[in-house]
Structure 1
Amino acid sequence: MLMDKETKNKIVISLLILVALVLIFLSMFVVDETQYKIVTLFGKPTRVVSEPGLYFKSPIHTTITLDKRLLLYNPVPKEYLTRDKKNVVVDNFVCWKIIDPLDFYATVMNVPKAETHLDDLVYSEVSAALGRYDLSSLVSSKPGEMKIEEIFQQITENCRRRAARDYSMQIASVKLKQLILPQQNKQSVFDRMRAERQRIAKQYRAEGEEEAMKIRAATDKETKTILSEAYRTAEIIKGEGDAEAIRIYGEAYGRNIRFYRLLRTLQAYQKFLNEKTTVVLSSGSELFKLLTQGQVKSITQGTNNDKSIAGKAAKAATKASADKDNLARK
């Protein structure tokens, strides 16, 4: 069936509208706030759009999207050689972003190629930096010998300068994720760390022994001082007591010599006589006369004051002896 002229016109108009819509769609592009858009004509950049919004271009132009955010690159861990000829495997990461989209596109074109350049750049700088330091600057039990922060700060500065100059990239930081020791180096590192710990332990033990000796010496000195002072005080008190007892005994002896002799005799008998003692006495002994003739009563009746003085002397002597014993126990 042949179509009439009006139907053909409608079809043509519809196709034109469809083509116009397609052209309009191809002419629009949206820029996100996290993106750069480079407009190119047959691969040659014509302009860069960095502000977010809706933009138009001719249908024959194309756009290339680049990320303006901070990007993270994780190189493959690589093996390096330190100044003392020790192998270490370094696993690091790089934070970077694009400075100038046009220069970046002209030099490296896209992010994968940029990461390839970053890999070469970081490898060369890390290799040069580690070659200036010994392994003890990377792995050590002494915090003062560790220089990892200093080393990677130098690496970051060198990479930042070269990347900005050659690739229009800004290196924010190059940081260490992990330091891996090859199997042949692990034992030597562990032995060195073990020896260091043993040295520190010996030092602590020596310091402890020295302090213990000081404490023991001070304690012994103080003990001797206290004992000597106590002995001196005890001897003074004993001497004073003995002097007081002698004075009282002398006073008692001077007042009644017969009573003093009697009292000393009774004290001597009291020390060796008890219920189990058998005594054989002659008729002329003082004790026999005392027991048979009853001289105690006549003597003691006239000497009450002398007995009181003798009692004081005995008490003074007893007190002096007790004070000496108490000081000795303290």
Structure 2
Amino acid sequence: MKQARLVGLAVVAVVAFVLLISSLFTVRQTEQALILQFGNPVRVVQQPGLGFKLPFIQNVEFFERRILDLDPPTQEVLLVDQKRINVDAFARYRIVDPLRFKQRAVSDANFRLIFGGRLNSVVRTEVARSGLGDILSTERAQIMLRIKETMKAQAPEFGVEVIDVRIGRTDLPETTSQAVFNRMRSDRVAQAAQLRAEGEQQKATIQAEADRTRTVILADASRQAQINRGQGDAEKTRILNEAYGRDLFFFDFYRSLEAYSALSTPGSTMVLSPTSEFFRFFLGTQPDQGSVKR
């Protein structure tokens, strides 16, 4: 009898332990819990620690409290300037209402599918209003701000909070990239040709100006040289006239020396008598002062 009672108590203890274990659950600091009863949400537990539920009737589904990422597939967008680009956008969000999230999205995979589609739709709408230059300039920040505000307005419907939305990459499609590259290369070739033509024109202008300046400088130098040479000859003549006027014998002697120097000119021949008056200075005879004529 006593043994049967002990067995009964042991069974009760085991059942009580199993029930206790089945009714306890732990919520970590990075999690929040949603209590489901026969698949229907009944309450939310957001405080970390131990929690209680009805065993075998209720079950617990955990949701992240941390910031999560949403990275939908890259999409091709036609811009307002008729250029096509591949846009890769992503979002950061946090689940703030697990009950609403469960009711609206059912599962995390379904939420990513629905909300990711909405993100791509908003990105496509906003980006399509802009041109390629806007996407590559400071206007890009304003585009992302408008997308973020639109997504934040839609987030409470799913029990989430949108933290940030960004456009990661904006790449041109392969065909568009090649076309843009070819056009840019053509533009650069045309620009290079124009610069070369302008350079040749400037070169010709500079050379013409240099030649003109050179001609003017040479002409001025030649004119000044002629003036200086004429002034020198005039001064020479004046000095010689003064010297000749002072000594007529010296004048006669100097003119004879000039005549003598002509005899040493190559190719010249002169036949004179040794007793000629022309050689009087070599013969030691001197003309009378009165017979010397200027």
Quick check: TM above 0.5? yes
- Point out 4+ residue stretches in structure 1 off by more than 6 angstroms: none
Indicate whether 1:154 and 2:172 are aligned: no
Percent identical: 30
Q: Kindly indicate whether the alpha-carbon contact (under 8 Å) linking 2:30 and 2:65 is maintained by their aligned counterparts in 1.
A: yes
Partner of 2:25: 29
Q: Kindly indicate whether the alpha-carbon contact (under 8 Å) linking 1:36 and 1:49 is maintained by their aligned counterparts in 2.
A: yes
Equivalent runs, 1:63-78 vs 2, <5 Å:
63-78=60-75
1:272-322, Cα deviation, whole Å (9 max, x unpaired):
5168865311467543333334549x99xxxxxxxxxxxxxxxxxxxxxxx
CA separation in 2, counterparts of 1:157 and 1:202? Answer: 49
Indicate whether 1:263 and 2:254 are aligned: yes
Over 3 Å counting, the alpha-carbon distance change for 1:250 and 1:152 in structure 2 is same
Equivalent runs, 1:166-315 vs 2, <5 Å:
168-181=160-173, 183=175, 185-206=176-197, 208-209=199-200, 212=203, 215-216=206-207, 219-220=210-211, 223=214, 227=218, 230-231=221-222, 234=225, 237-239=228-230, 241-273=232-264, 278-282=269-273, 285-295=276-286
TM-score w.r.t. structure 2 length? 0.75
Over 3 Å counting, the alpha-carbon distance change for 1:121 and 1:292 in structure 2 is same
Q: Kindly indicate whether the alpha-carbon contact (under 8 Å) linking 2:85 and 2:170 is maintained by their aligned counterparts in 1.
A: no
Amino acid at match of 1:131: A
Displacement of 1:65 after TM fit? 1.6
Amino acid at match of 2:160: S
Q: Structure 1 residues 275-284 or 240-249, which shifts more?
A: 275-284
TM-score w.r.t. structure 1 length? 0.68
Task: Provide the aligned C-alpha RMSD in A.
Answer: 3.8
Q: Kindly indicate whether the alpha-carbon contact (under 8 Å) linking 2:89 and 2:120 is maintained by their aligned counterparts in 1.
A: no
Equivalent runs, 1:63-142 vs 2, <5 Å:
63-83=60-80, 87-134=84-131, 136-137=132-133
3-state DSSP of counterpart to 1:56: strand
Amino acid at match of 1:38: L
CA separation in 2, counterparts of 1:48 and 1:218? Answer: 90
1:111-145, Cα deviation, whole Å (9 max, x unpaired):
212111122212322332343345x4489xxx66x
Q: Which has the higher helix share?
A: 1
Over 3 Å counting, the alpha-carbon distance change for 1:292 and 1:173 in structure 2 is same
Q: Kindly indicate whether the alpha-carbon contact (under 8 Å) linking 1:37 and 1:50 is maintained by their aligned counterparts in 2.
A: yes
Over 3 Å counting, the alpha-carbon distance change for 1:123 and 1:169 in structure 2 is same
Q: Structure 1 residues 64-73 or 156-165, which shifts more?
A: 156-165
Over 3 Å counting, the alpha-carbon distance change for 1:292 and 1:162 in structure 2 is same
3-state DSSP of counterpart to 1:30: strand
Aligned length: 287
1:14-46, Cα deviation, whole Å (9 max, x unpaired):
333333333333333333332222233334444
Over 3 Å counting, the alpha-carbon distance change for 1:21 and 1:199 in structure 2 is farther
CA separation in 2, counterparts of 1:126 and 1:116? Answer: 15
1:192-245, Cα deviation, whole Å (9 max, x unpaired):
222332343345435544554565466556655655665566556545543443
CA separation in 2, counterparts of 1:199 and 1:165? Answer: 56
Over 3 Å counting, the alpha-carbon distance change for 1:181 and 1:121 in structure 2 is same
Amino acid at match of 1:160: K
Amino acid at match of 2:241: G
Q: Structure 1 residues 206-215 or 196-205, which shifts more?
A: 206-215
Partner of 1:57: 52
1:228-272, Cα deviation, whole Å (9 max, x unpaired):
665566556545543443332122111112312321331343255
Over 3 Å counting, the alpha-carbon distance change for 1:192 and 1:277 in structure 2 is closer
Over 3 Å counting, the alpha-carbon distance change for 1:59 and 1:167 in structure 2 is closer
Amino acid at match of 2:24: M
